[in-house]
Structure 1
């Protein structure tokens, strides 16, 4: 994921005169000041006895604090905020259970390359690793989270804080963005910040790519008769550059789930996000040159049927900010380690000066139309019914951000939905694949987008993981729209078990009265079982100042399309 917003954010702060903090200010108070200097606006966290000193300077700062009902919710809120803005979501988390609670959210963010800064307390320096049964003690909190982060650092000296924060924001600005964890011992949090400076350094810029690699890639693309582009979430800031290059080459473009919206909805060269299906897979194999930009080429985007059938037969060019990732899954003919936006712009500029050979006359938009027609004809009745759901969402709230959990309509939407813009569709069904993500991540996204509507698309099973976060949304005055798909249990897993002749156990869970629960939290709550009712309720929800839960009964919705119940 690219983050020019982060770079511009730092541009204003960088180069300020160095100043020393007041002698009375503690490390915890100085931390708040430094976060302000880096342009941080929001902090997600639940105060505890081990983190109250991080809060000492918060009330007098410009930072807004949002309190989730669980630390996992804090992480997911930070994740949703980061996916929409490109800026790091920031969390204050207590020692021990607070950190293990947020671990799942950090793992999801790590898998999807999302910038997140988790600042936690830890036991006093003299107690670290002591095993003496202190409150919230872990044998090595740092060790637990080293594998879920770009780096995890234990701050042993208050004066080191500016340098460690600079390292964190350097990751967010110039590397593959992932969570960073900084833990501060209890005695260091309250240590005086006498010699600590608040100067924000000029952070490293992202690379535009080695000239030789760019030249080699441009030559391959210029000679291609059937070029094709695979774009991932790492190209999210390069939408204009990607579109220009695709149109110059007349190259079909397949988008990963996190890259939806990189081409405008309905663009003639957009294959969509259907790389796991036979027709688009065949098209990929027919391409003589494939450009993969900002994508892991991983299973949850290219092989969700888990048959190992995705293959690339042509010459492969890879653009990735992470040099190691450029070597994983599929070996490239040319690897460009660079910011996707910068590299795409450089390739397009180079190709603009070159004569391009005639393309295969059956390639480009014509081939895309044929593939999409073939795929659409094979969708079953339930998928067509859920496509009608997304048509309603697009027609009613065309600029909405849709944040999904792991649930049946999200799986369908990953195939059939086309986002209007980048960072408008994301969910937890890819990468790490957790449940309970949708609601808190949608809250974080809604806090980031101003008045733009945000829809949480979640199943009844997933919502029960994080249902109390409805209270967080009401308290923070976040009017998120929760679209609840109710199939009364873990229906997808039940279906999976039945297909494998396994007696379903543990999937037919108790279904509470979600309408009553939502109203009890202070939300508006309604039902909608057809397109007309849903459109009406969405319009009303978009105008409210409180969260709205709209419950859809799966079977009633399926009744609108013959055969969808089957």
Structure 2
């Protein structure tokens, strides 16, 4: 008896499995039914969010923690438009994500005939955000589309990609798929490596800048910093790489004190950092650290061209740091790295002000209560404070949407994706009462999946950071005080524990520690309520 011919939808799922995809986030719809024929028989884990935006953010959190692409299935039209925001966040933060969507029958596309979920040109819309967007018009198009969609995940700077399959094509008979291509990383050019080694070995006051592209290079980075006696400034996505290390500077390069450290360096080595304004000029002063001699290492040639360097190196940060260690002499010229790092840490902590120092203390209490946790955040005060100054204890364990694209509603679903990627690791999700209301229903996905996530809600009853920004420039504060729900009542309706605490670090630590690892729960921190100044 001959084997049944697989449909294009089933073949797509086979292609995902062949590329080591093990989990898909999505909400089924009439335009993706044929994709789910393949999912049901595949053994893939399927996680159902409450909104397609949640599917995208879950895929983002999953990818950041697992190192594998996060995959989201969405329907035609509103499904695709709802997931565009997570795709944009993923593009800003170089997160590997594949979105697979349906689209209307081919004969109807662009006709404006009023079909269900119709867009004028869905493919063109996806192309504005995705690194690649492929339309499957016939069975033979699936194989090259899969290869093209996955190529950015293994060669160059990753981001979101997209495949759309028409309603009248997904159920057609598929053709055979080829074996997935295996990308071999290009070796570091010997001449660049030797020149970088020469400059760094002679540097008396070197500094290393470590971004998100270096988050898997912790061991090599620490060894390199010690060899060079170089302070390591970690951007928001690079936190955790140098926890409690004497050469670590877990502070934003937007701070005056950290800029002074960078400008005082005779050689700067930048590993996997895009020099984006939300890291290097978050106060929008238009100023930039003046670097004497820059060695810049980035996986993307386009990024290298945007900020000229004395030695631009297109390479993976892990590979470069490892190769550099092999050619550096045992004794380099740096002598005062620990002193410079300590002085910068002290100055940076003072610079952020008393209010933010209090919030950093709250973050430290959470970290110490649950060592080795993943801290996933939204745009809220403790996250803003932590992005300025916070020393996490796990590489890649601190990430949020308060830099780059800056999408509110990110924290809750991204934390769910992170928990699925690392089921044995505690996850702490930090959101504000305003941001939580963007994606609060997604907590039910954590309930369905029985995930051990502590959802920490910083409740100051409004958008305090925005209100402060309006006041600072003399704009009357309007629209910054949306009434939050009863989070205790919400938790009760979700069937999960809830506790209310003050901003006292000891009280927060006790609440975070209690019942850790027993499913999702909400810890609500009652923060000072913003009151606009009155004449």
TM-score by length of 2: 0.96
Q: Is the 8 A contact 1:166 1:200 kept in 2?
A: no
For the residues of structure 1 that align with 2:329 and 2:126, how far apart are their CA atoms?
47
Q: Secondary structure at the match of 1:433?
A: coil
For the residues of structure 2 that align with 1:230 and 1:162, how far apart are their CA atoms?
40
Residue 238 to residue 288, structure 1, CA distance change in 2 (3 Å): same
Q: Is the 8 A contact 2:201 2:329 kept in 1?
A: no
For the residues of structure 1 that align with 2:405 and 2:291, how far apart are their CA atoms?
28
For the residues of structure 2 that align with 1:437 and 1:523, how far apart are their CA atoms?
21
Per-residue CA distance 1:91-149 (angstroms, 9 max, x = gap): 11101100000110000000000000101111122222222222111121111111211
For the residues of structure 2 that align with 1:507 and 1:300, how far apart are their CA atoms?
22
The answer to whether structure 1 residue 553 and structure 2 residue 521 are counterparts is no
For the residues of structure 2 that align with 1:248 and 1:370, how far apart are their CA atoms?
20
Instruction: Tell me the CA shift for residue 403 of structure 1.
Output: 0.2
Q: Is the 8 A contact 2:70 2:97 kept in 1?
A: yes
- In structure 1, the partner of 2:221 is 242
Q: Is the 8 A contact 1:541 1:548 kept in 2?
A: no
- In structure 2, the partner of 1:196 is 176
Q: Is the 8 A contact 1:411 1:429 kept in 2?
A: yes
- In structure 2, the partner of 1:13 is none
Instruction: Tell me the CA shift for residue 272 of structure 1.
Output: 1.3
Instruction: Tell me the CA shift for residue 23 of structure 1.
Output: 4.3
Q: Secondary structure at the match of 2:130?
A: coil
Residue 318 to residue 366, structure 1, CA distance change in 2 (3 Å): same
Residue number among 496, 506, 527 corresponding to 1:532 in the alignment: 506
- In structure 2, the partner of 1:123 is 104
Instruction: Tell me the CA shift for residue 541 of structure 1.
Output: 3.8
Residue number among 264, 278, 293 corresponding to 2:271 in the alignment: 293
Residue 532 to residue 245, structure 1, CA distance change in 2 (3 Å): closer
For the residues of structure 1 that align with 2:210 and 2:446, how far apart are their CA atoms?
34
Deviates more, 1:449-458 or 1:525-534: 525-534
Per-residue CA distance 1:245-295 (angstroms, 9 max, x = gap): 1111111110110111122x1111111122111111111111111111100
Q: Secondary structure at the match of 1:87?
A: coil
- In structure 2, the partner of 1:253 is 232
Instruction: Tell me the CA shift for residue 396 of structure 1.
Output: 0.6
- The two structures, once aligned, show a CA RMSD in angstroms of 1.6
- In structure 2, the partner of 1:205 is 184
Residue number among 159, 166, 171 corresponding to 2:140 in the alignment: 159
Instruction: Tell me the CA shift for residue 509 of structure 1.
Output: 1.2
Instruction: Tell me the CA shift for residue 224 of structure 1.
Output: 1.5
Q: Is the 8 A contact 1:318 1:332 kept in 2?
A: yes
Instruction: Tell me the CA shift for residue 203 of structure 1.
Output: 1.6
- In structure 1, the partner of 2:411 is 438
For the residues of structure 1 that align with 2:363 and 2:107, how far apart are their CA atoms?
56
Instruction: Tell me the CA shift for residue 532 of structure 1.
Output: 3.1
The answer to whether structure 1 residue 35 and structure 2 residue 16 are counterparts is yes
For the residues of structure 2 that align with 1:255 and 1:379, how far apart are their CA atoms?
16
Matches within 5 A, 1:12-411: 22-193=3-174, 195-197=175-177, 199-263=178-242, 265-328=243-306, 330-352=307-329, 356=332, 358-359=333-334, 361=335, 363-411=336-384
Instruction: Tell me the CA shift for residue 215 of structure 1.
Output: 2.0
Per-residue CA distance 1:417-467 (angstroms, 9 max, x = gap): 211121100000010011000000000001111121101100000000001
Q: Is the 8 A contact 1:481 1:541 kept in 2?
A: no
For the residues of structure 1 that align with 2:329 and 2:355, how far apart are their CA atoms?
45
Q: Is the 8 A contact 1:123 1:137 kept in 2?
A: yes
After TM superposition, which residue ranges in structure 1, 4 or more long, deviate above 4 angstroms?
none
Deviates more, 1:514-523 or 1:428-437: 514-523
Q: Secondary structure at the match of 1:230?
A: strand
TM-score by length of 1: 0.90
Per-residue CA distance 1:491-515 (angstroms, 9 max, x = gap): 1111111111111111111121111
Q: How many residues align?
A: 528
Per-residue CA distance 1:333-389 (angstroms, 9 max, x = gap): 111111111111111111137x63x33x4x300111112122223442212221221
Deviates more, 1:427-436 or 1:369-378: 369-378
Q: Secondary structure at the match of 2:393?
A: coil
- In structure 1, the partner of 2:453 is 480
Instruction: Tell me the CA shift for residue 483 of structure 1.
Output: 0.3
Instruction: Tell me the CA shift for residue 316 of structure 1.
Output: 0.7
Matches within 5 A, 1:387-536: 387-529=360-502, 530-536=504-510
**Which ranges in structure 1 are unaligned for 5 or more consecutive residues?**
1-20, 559-566
Q: Is the 8 A contact 2:156 2:300 kept in 1?
A: yes
- In structure 1, the partner of 2:533 is none
For the residues of structure 2 that align with 1:279 and 1:225, how far apart are their CA atoms?
19
For the residues of structure 2 that align with 1:247 and 1:327, how far apart are their CA atoms?
29
Q: Secondary structure at the match of 1:301?
A: helix
Instruction: Tell me the CA shift for residue 171 of structure 1.
Output: 1.5
Q: Is the 8 A contact 2:409 2:435 kept in 1?
A: yes
Q: Secondary structure at the match of 1:383?
A: helix
For the residues of structure 1 that align with 2:44 and 2:157, how far apart are their CA atoms?
26
**Which ranges in structure 2 are unaligned for 5 or more consecutive residues?**
531-535
Instruction: Tell me the CA shift for residue 178 of structure 1.
Output: 0.6
